[in-house]
Amino acid sequence: MKANAANATALATVASAPPGRSLWSDARRRLISNRAAMAALVLLTLMVALILVGPMFSPWTYDYIDFDGDWRAPPQVEGLHLFGTDQLGRDLFVRTLVGGRISLMVGIVATLVSLLIGVTYGAVAGYFGGRIDNMMMRAVDILYALPFMFLVILLMVVFGRHLVLIFVAIGAINWLDMARIVRGQTLALKNREFVMAARASGVSNARIIRRHIVPNLLGVVAVYVTLTIPHVILVESFLSFLGLGVQEPATSWGALVNDGARDMEAAPWALAFPAAFLALTLFCFNFIGDGLRDALDPKDR
Amino acid sequence: MVRLALIRLASAIPTLLLLIALAFFMMRAAPGGPFDSERVLPPEVQAQLEQAYHLDEPMWKQLARYIGGVLQGDLGPSFQYTDFTVKELILQGLPVSMQVGLTAMLLALLVGCFAGTVAALRQNSLTDHLVMGLAMTGMSVPVFVVAPLLILLFAVGLGLLPAGGWQGGGLRDMALPVTALALPQIAILARLMRGSMIEVLNSNYIRTARAKGLPTRSVILRHALRPALMPVLSYLGPAVAGILTGSVVIEQIFGIPGIGRYFVQAAINRDYTLVMGVVVFYGTLIIAFNFLVDLLYGLLDPRVRAS
C-alpha cells in the first residue's frame, strides 16, 4: 500500500524520468553514494550494537560500588575496567553503555511522541484547510514562541524527575516543527489527482489522510526524525546535566558528563568516554539526517 | 508597516499571557507553599496570612493579580533568599549575564557569518569541507561538554586562564565562558550563512555585478551580503533563546554570578518563586526579541511588508 502511494508520487513528479526509478530507489542510490552519511551510518550501527550487547560481556554491573578502594582507576585491561572507574569505583565501561541505552531510548521514544502528535496535527490542519487550518496554525505560532527549555526545567522541578515525564515533556516540545512541515506538504498533496480520485470514489476523510496523505509524507518525516533524535538526546542530557534527568543509580550520558566534569582533574576519563559517546552519536545522527535530506530533497532533483 | 506590527503584537501578547498562566498554575501545583515551616501555625494566623497574600480569593482573581504583578515587575518574594524579592535577585545578576550573553552573541554572529561566507565562496573546496566539518562538530558537541574540555585544556593543562570565578568581569574571566557559549551558535550560523550565501551567489543580479567587472570583495559586501543575511536575521530569535538556555549551564560551570546560576540553584533547592520568576523574565525577553526581529525583518524586506 505504501509502495503504491509512493509510486503514485514518483509518477506525478518525475513523469519524464526513465521507467523503473521510483522516488525511494533514487533516494537510496543518492544516500549510498554519500560517503559521509554512510560512514556515519556504519559507525552509529556499531555503537548501538556495542551499547546493546557490551554490558553483557563485562563482569561488572552499572550500579556495583567497589568498597575495596578501586576508586578512580584509570582505563585498564586487567580487572576489565576498559574505561576506568568513577569516584565510587563503579565501572565506567558498563555505565557509559547503560547510560547510552537510556539516552537512545529517550531520544527514540520522545521523537515518536512528537512524530505522532505532529503528523496528525499537521496533516489534519493542512488537509481541511481554511478556517480550521488558520486556527490550528495560529495556536502553533503562539506555542512556538514559548521558551520551552525553561518550561521543561520548570516542569521537572515542580513535578519531580520521572522518565515518563521526560518523554512527554520533550515530545511535547518537538511536535511543533513537525506539524508545520507536515502541514506544508499536505497543502501541496491534497490537490493531487490521486487524492481527488480517492475522494471521488467516496473514501472518507480520515482514510484519505491515513492511506494517501501520510504515506507520501514519509520522506520529509524520515529526514526530520533523524534530525530530531539527536536534538532530543541533547535536551535529555542537558536536563540530566542539571541534575533534573534520570535518577541515580540509573544514568544517562548527560548525567555521566556532569559527574565526570566535577571530577575531571582527578579522573579525566570519567568525562572523556561519556562525552565522546554522546558527541559521536549526535555527530552520526546529524550526518545521516543531512545525507537523507540531500537524498530526498525535491529541490535537488 | 503599522499593520505588520499590530499583527505580530497580536500573536506576541497571547504567548506572553500563556507563559505567565502556565508558570502560575505550575507554581500552584507545586508541593509545599510559602508558609510551610516546622512550626504549625494556628488556623487563625494561617487564615490571616492567606488573606494578606490573597490566597483565599478565587483562582482566576489570583491569576489576574499575578499577571498584573508581573506586568509591573513584581515577581514575588524568594523562598530561599528570604530577605530578597525575586526581582532584586534577577536585577543583581542581570548585568553579568548580559555582559557574557551579548559578547557571546556578537562573537557568534561575526565568526559564524564570516566562516559561512568563506565556505560559500569556495564551495566544495577543501576549505569548505573543513569549515562545514568543524561546524558539524560544533553542533554535535553540547555546551556542557565544550565547557569542561576548555577548562581542562586552558586552565588545568596550560594554566593560561582561570577555570572559573568572576573578578570584575575582565577579558580573562570572559574568555572561556563566552567561547563555550558561542561555539554551538557559530556552528549553526555558519551552516545557515553558507546555504543562503550560495543561493544568493547563484542569482542573476550577482552574475550581472560580476559581469560588469566588479571585484569579488565589492560584489560580496555591496550586493550579496545584505540579502544573504536575511535568514540569519530570522534565526536571531532562536539564537537568543539558545544563548540564554546555554548560559544557565555555563554560569553554573564557571561560577559566574548571573541569573543562570541562580536558576540552577533555585531549581535544586525547590525555590519555586525564583525559578518561576526567571522563566517569566527570560521568556518575556525571548518573546520581545522575536517581536523585534519580526519587525526588523519587515523593515528590511519589502516583500514581507507587502504581504
pLDDT at A92: 75
CB contact under 8 A, A150 and B278: yes
Split at pLDDT 50, 70, 90, the class of B114 is very high
CB contact under 8 A, A141 and B30: no
Q: Is A134 on the interface with B (CB under 8 A)?
A: no
Q: What would the pLDDT profile of B251-263 be if each residue is shown by its tens digit?
A: 888 888 888 888 8
Residues A97-116 have a mean pLDDT of 87
Give CA–CA dist A1/A10, Å, rounded: 14
CB contact under 8 A, B15 and A146: yes
Q: Write out the three cell numbers for B139.
A: 553542533
pLDDT at B37: 58
The continuous run of DSSP H or E covering B292 comes out as helix B272-300
Residues B93-119 have a mean pLDDT of 90
Measured between CA atoms, the residue of chain B closest to residue A256 is B145
- The answer on pLDDT for B36 being more than 80 is no
Split at pLDDT 50, 70, 90, the class of B112 is very high
Q: Is A265 on the interface with B (CB under 8 A)?
A: yes
3-state SS string over A65-124? Answer: CCCCCCCCCCCCCHHHCCCCECCCCCEHHHHHHHHHHHHHHHHHHHHHHHHHHHHHHHHH
Query: Which residues of chain A have a CB within 8 Å of the CB of B244?
Result: 147
pTM: 0.80
Which residue type, as a one-letter code, is found at position B188?
A: I
Residue A218 half-sphere exposure toward CB, CA atoms < 13 A: 15
Please state, rounded to an integer, the average pLDDT across all residues of chain B: 82
- Cα-Cα-Cα-Cα torsion B95, B96, B99, B100, nearest 10 degrees, comes to -150
Q: What would the pLDDT profile of B205-248 be if each residue is shown by its tens digit?
A: 888 888 888 888 888 888 888 888 888 888 888 888 888 888 88
Q: Write out the three cell numbers for A218.
A: 514519509
CB contact under 8 A, A151 and B279: yes
pLDDT at B110: 93
Q: Phi/psi at B85 (nearest 5 deg)? A: -90, 160
Distance from CA of B297 to the nearest CA of A (A): 16
Q: Does residue A128 or residue B33 have the better pLDDT?
A: A128
Q: What would the pLDDT profile of A255-267 be if each residue is shown by its tens digit?
A: 888 887 777 777 7
Please state, rounded to an integer, the average pLDDT across all residues of chain A: 78
Distance from CA of B21 to the nearest CA of A (A): 12
Split at pLDDT 50, 70, 90, the class of A235 is confident
pLDDT at A244: 77
Question: For A209-213, A235-239, B76-80, which range has the lowest pLDDT when averaged over its residues?
Answer: B76-80
Q: Is A116 on the interface with B (CB under 8 A)?
A: no
- The answer on pLDDT for A31 being more than 50 is yes
Phi/psi region, residue A97 (left: phi>0; alpha: psi -120 to 50; beta: rest), is alpha
pLDDT at B108: 92
Highest mean pLDDT among A286-300, B15-29, B108-122, B263-277: B108-122
Query: Which residues of chain B have a CB within 8 Å of the CB of A141?
Result: 11
Split at pLDDT 50, 70, 90, the class of A301 is very low
Give CA–CA dist B238/A76, Å, rounded: 44
